[in-house]
């Protein structure tokens, strides 16, 4: 890790329930870090909103944790709440259909898998928690993109550099907008070999108490196991699981 980042983290970790305000002198004494180095890092952390300077008097200046840390903490808390609400439903869905079930969220301009329940099938699509994908590839990412506010959606798409993962990957804005309209109209997303050949992905939205889409519940597997009849069954069961998760998060609509 970069030495400056390591030192900055060391300063942040000095704060606790009983030590909410710390002066430059105290930081020097607690870490042995030169005052000039500590002051430079404190200034950067303050500019980034991670610390606040509290001037009690001309000679009594201390630092407190900044509001930006609260904002970041709330994001982590929301993700943890979503994972907790989803996990049992994901396990039940996986047991019922015996296909990989995963949970993804939109982070910045990408989708990221934050939870997964693996099937016991010998042949299955490889995914992993922490994996990131562009928002134009796969059922979950496309569903998340389709449910972004319009201005944000246009902003994200305008900055996209399309990469062709397979011949089925969407590689231009016009086709992507058409796909997003379809997703919004039908209420779910489908991917047919867009990321990996001969695979199918199906995703339904998860909504919070306000009705905002906060995640995508997805099922993936080899296309040889997804006949039209079975695909319909999996869609229905995935929809019910997504609605159950949404209800656990306080959503009281029907998800349409």
Asked whether residue 65 carries a pLDDT value surpassing 80, the answer given is yes
* Nearest to 237, CA basis, from 93, 72, 27: 93
pLDDT for 119: 78
Q: Give tens-digit pLDDT for 129-169.
A: 878 899 999 999 999 999 999 999 999 999 999 999 999 99
| 256 in any annotated domain | no
Domain-terminating residue out of 18, 40, 65: 65
Judgement on whether residues 37 and 118 belong to the same structural domain of the protein:
no
Q: CB-based burial of residue 16 (10 Å sphere; 0-12 exposed, 13-18 middle, 19+ buried)?
A: exposed
Count other Cβ atoms within 10 Å, centred on residue 67.
11
For residue 125, what pLDDT band results from cuts at 50, 70 and 90?
A: low
Last residue of one domain, picked from the residues 43, 65, 87: 65
Residue 253 forms part of a structural domain? no
Encode pLDDT of 99-113 as tens digits: 999 999 998 889 999
Question: For residues 122 and 92, which has the higher predicted lDDT (pLDDT)?
Answer: 92
Q: Which domain holds residue 147?
A: 72-248
Count other C-beta atoms under 10 Å from residue 247's C-beta.
Answer: 16
- Average confidence (pLDDT) over 196-200: 91
| pLDDT score for 27 | 92
């Amino acid at each position: 890790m970069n030495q400056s980042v390591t030192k900055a983290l060391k300063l942040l970790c000095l704060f606790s329930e009983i030590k909410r305000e710390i002066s430059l002198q105290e930081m020097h004494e607690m870490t042995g870090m030169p005052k000039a180095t500590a002051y430079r890092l404190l200034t950067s952390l303050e500019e980034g909103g991670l610390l606040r300077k509290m001037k009690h008097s001309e000679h009594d200046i201390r630092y407190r944790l900044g509001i930006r840390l609260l904002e970041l903490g709330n994001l982590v808390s929301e993700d943890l709440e979503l994972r907790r609400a989803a996990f049992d439903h994901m396990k039940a869905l996986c047991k019922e259909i015996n296909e990989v079930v995963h949970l993804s969220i939109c982070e910045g301009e990408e989708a990221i898998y934050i939870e997964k329940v693996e099937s016991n099938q010998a042949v299955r699509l490889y995914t992993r928690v922490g994996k990131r994908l562009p928002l134009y590839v796969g059922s979950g990412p496309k569903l998340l993109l389709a449910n972004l506010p319009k201005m944000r959606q246009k902003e994200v798409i305008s900055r996209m550099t399309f990469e062709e993962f397979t011949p089925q990957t969407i590689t231009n804005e016009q086709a992507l907008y058409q796909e997003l309209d379809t997703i919004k109209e039908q209420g779910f997303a489908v991917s047919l070999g867009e990321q990996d050949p001969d695979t199918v992905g199906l995703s339904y939205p998860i909504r919070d108490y306000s009705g905002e889409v906060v995640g995508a519940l997805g099922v993936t597997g080899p296309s040889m196991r997804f006949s039209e009849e079975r695909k319909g069954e999996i869609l229905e069961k995935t929809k019910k699981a997504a609605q159950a998760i949404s209800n656990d998060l306080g959503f009281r609509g029907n998800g349409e």
